Chain A
Amino acid sequence: MPAPLLEIQKLSVEFRTRSGIVRALENISMKVHRGEIVGVVGESGSGKSVSALTAMGILDPAGHVTSGSINLGGLEVLTATEGVMQQTRGRQASMIFQSPRTALNPIRTVGKQIGDVLRRHENANRQTVREAVIDALKTVRIPDPERRIDAFPFEMSGGMCQRIMIAMALSCRPELLIADEPTTGLDVTTQAAIMDLIRDLSKERNMATMLITHDLAMAADYCDRIVVMHAGHVVENASTEDLFEAPRHPYTAKLMKATPHGEGSLDDIESIAGGLPDLRGELPPCRFSGRCDRFEEICSTPDLTLDEVSEGHFLSCRKPL
């Protein structure tokens, strides 16, 4: 297997707040290969977005990386200078943010905003930029791009704005695309169209794609591999088929049981008792132990690691299913 494009190893991130140190990520590892869509799934507060922001080098200054490494196509992101990262972002690695309406500048036309990315990374004059922007709009299937290029974000629907965000992210043909909940707040019909587009483009361009979502059903549809996160830990990491066929971590199994998926009745779905633990102060080695019904003495022994239990199936649990 070729080397992964993005490799996160033993990454720990903490936030120093007035009320204590929040250990948002602890020893998380994952790989994203070219042409692969990796879904990162978990409840809100599980550290999905923090991982993505750290990988892009745009973590909030309040966050501190305490250990680990992030390798992006040979570049060590954590030690790279800001200048190098500015060259990398947009060109090698791009990100699609949640809620396109707030991520776009409301008082500039969408054409200008996409053009910004091109002008920053490519030596181009006004005419070629405009042509490239129109091309970018065509790739994300916006009808009538010649006219839409001069539109403002408020003149477009939510789905169109999200397409603009995608066009912006993909305009310089990045090798890595990180999509942070790209369809929250969109309709199911629009969601399906946007997700189809992301999948088609990432296969077409052989991009490495990281899809952050809380919707396990959607991840099942679009991802090749799924990383399940809980309270700043990666608890399970497996190919989509393996994961759905036989989830090994109790949290993954419970998450599947809690997701409504069409058939079956309300009795078939079960919620997960309790909430995420407070990430300040002392935490047990397995952060799920407080909510887990398979908890035993052995779970309290320190140094729980993410191990490969079968080929390509990683698990961090002492009492797996």
Chain B
Amino acid sequence: MTVLLEVNGLKKYFPIAGKGPSGSMIASWLRSFNQNVPDLRQMLHAVDNVSFSISEGESLGLVGESGCGKSTLVAMLSRLADCTSGKIEFSGRDISAVPARSFHAEPERSELQIVFQDPHESLNPRFTAFDTIAEPLKRLKGLTEKSGLSEKVGALAEQVGLPAALLGRFPHQLSGGQKARVNIARAIAVSPKLLILDEPTSALDVSVQAVILKLLVKLKKDLGMSYLFVSHDLNVVRLLCDRVIVMYLGQIIEEGPTEQIFTNPAHPYTKALNAAVPGGKLRAGEALRLEGDPQSPIDPDPNSCRFYGRCPVGKDVCSRLAPPEVFLTEEHMAACHFVEKQASLDLLE
């Protein structure tokens, strides 16, 4: 399979306002002459050295708790935010070099689209469904009324199962499921190669969730798109994704095929995540609970595991040495000191 998107060492640091010596005028003046003057401000490490790839036609799940950097990563991948360092290669071209504010003029803009989180909030309240779906077609494809804009919007509405009669309605006149359909139609209007779905069903009732999920699977098959599926609903990720990435405090701590992540998680955080999924009574499994809150993401110690302190198996070494990336199989990676030992323990049991 050809690689569609390759991310290498991607980082995003946010400076903490007004803290640290190099926030001063002298330091910023010096930096204007010499790029090498280090930035000594306190930094929030939102995404720290993340690397992964998405193949054509693959759907990749991205899970993690709030504050772990999922949304920042999505903003960088969809080129709505600039990255601090690192490379984003999209169908062979490095798009991380393009500033976010001018990315809309690039051809990749229409190939990389995003379905935003909350369909109630992310639709323009003064746009009808028609306007919303037509907007990217006008902006990015230059379609006009003359060149068949209405037909195209009608065809898209049919594709996502939105009755044509609803196209003239405003968001407040649509139900949650219908709004989700408008959102999806808008994103696929410009026939993207990669669709980023940021919690597409979390705001929907369970009664309509299944229809939307099935629609997404069907569209993927019909249009040959790749998906990056961001969610904290692990039950949904499990249904939809081929591969899963688990993030914790800005880093990828486990990565592997979906079934392995769910049936044989290696990292203690992934185990706790799995144990926390509701519906445990329907499945058998012992409760593994995390205590406390994550560490501060501001200037974390590079020589320690970020999960240390909350980790049920954490030992002294975790606070002194950053965990290595252990490959359990060729595709299944976990960043933990104790993965191998655990794996052998599981075998013994």
Query: Which residues from chain A sit less than 8 Å from chain B, CB to CB?
Result: 43-44, 143, 157-160, 187-193, 196, 214-218, 220-221, 240, 244, 254-255, 258-263, 265-266, 269-272, 275
Contacts and interface: CB of A to CB of B under 8 A. Distances in A.
B208 A271 contact: yes
Contacts of B211: 271
Given A157-B67, A275-B207, 6 more contacts: A43-B206, A216-B206, A260-B209, A260-B235, A271-B207, A271-B210
Contacts of B277: 188, 217, 262
Interface string B327-348: 0000000000000000000000
B66 interface: yes
A310 to B, nearest CB: 21
A218 B217 CA distance: 26
Contacts of A220: 278-279, 281-282
Nearest to A160: B293
Contact of A262 (B232, B238, B292): B238
11 contacts: A143-B292, A157-B67, A187-B65, A188-B233, A188-B234, A214-B206, A215-B206, A217-B282, A254-B207, A260-B233, A260-B236
Residue of A143, A189, A191, A244 with highest tally of chain B CB at under 10 A: A189
A192 B273 CA distance: 9
A265 B239 CA distance: 6
Contacts of B66: 158, 187
B210 A187 contact: no
Interface string B153-186: 0000000000000000000000100000000000
Contacts of B282: 217, 220, 244, 261-262
Nearest to A183: B278
A232 B205 CA distance: 16
B95 interface: no
Nearest to A241: B281
Q: How large is the interface on B (under 10, 10 to 19, 20 to 34, 35 or more residues)?
A: 35 or more
Interface string B222-258: 0000000000111110111000000000000000000
Contacts of B238: 260, 262
B19 interface: no
Contact of A221 (B273, B280, B289): B280
B262 A190 contact: no
B65 A214 contact: no
Contact of B239 (A196, A240, A266, A271): A266
A26 to B, nearest CB: 20
B272 interface: yes
Interface string B41-54: 00000000000000
B279 A221 contact: yes
Given A187-B232, A218-B278, A266-B240, A255 B207 contact: yes
A193 B239 CA distance: 25
B205 A44 contact: yes
Contacts of A158: 66
B14 to A, nearest CB: 18
A143 B291 CA distance: 10
A261 B235 contact: yes
A222 B125 CA distance: 39
B326 interface: no
A188 B67 CA distance: 13
A241 to B, nearest CB: 9
Which among A160, A215, A260, A263 has the greatest number of chain B C-beta atoms within 10 A? Answer: A260
Q: Ordered nearest first, which 4 A-B pairs have the shortest CB separation?
A: A217-B279, A192-B276, A271-B210, A187-B65
Contacts of A269: 210, 213, 239
A201 to B, nearest CB: 15
Contacts of A260: 209-210, 233, 235-236, 238-239
A143 B287 CA distance: 21
Contacts of B209: 258, 260, 271
A190 B289 contact: no
Given A191-B278, A266-B239, A261 B214 contact: no
A192 B277 CA distance: 8
A261 B290 CA distance: 21
A160 B67 CA distance: 14
B210 A270 contact: yes
A262 B289 contact: no
A271 B175 CA distance: 15
Contacts of A160: 293
Interface string B197-208: 000000001111
B193 to A, nearest CB: 23
Nearest to B217: A266
Given A220-B282, A266-B240, A189 B175 contact: no
A188 B232 contact: yes
A189 B239 contact: no
A254 B207 CA distance: 8
Contact of A263 (B233, B283, B290): B283
Contacts of B275: 192
A157 B293 contact: yes
Interface in B269-322: 272-273, 275-283, 287, 289-293
Given A158-B66, A260-B236, A271-B207, A191 B283 contact: no
Given A187-B65, A188-B234, A192-B276, A262 B283 contact: yes
Given A189-B273, A270-B210, A262 B175 contact: no
Contacts of A216: 206
A127 B293 CA distance: 29
Contacts of A187: 65-66, 232
A70 B287 CA distance: 37
B278 A221 contact: yes
Contacts of B214: 266, 271
B235 A43 contact: no
A8 to B, nearest CB: 24
Given A189-B273, A260-B238, A266-B239, A214 B205 contact: yes
B273 A188 contact: yes
Contacts of B287: 192, 196
Contact of A193 (B233, B236, B278, B289): B289
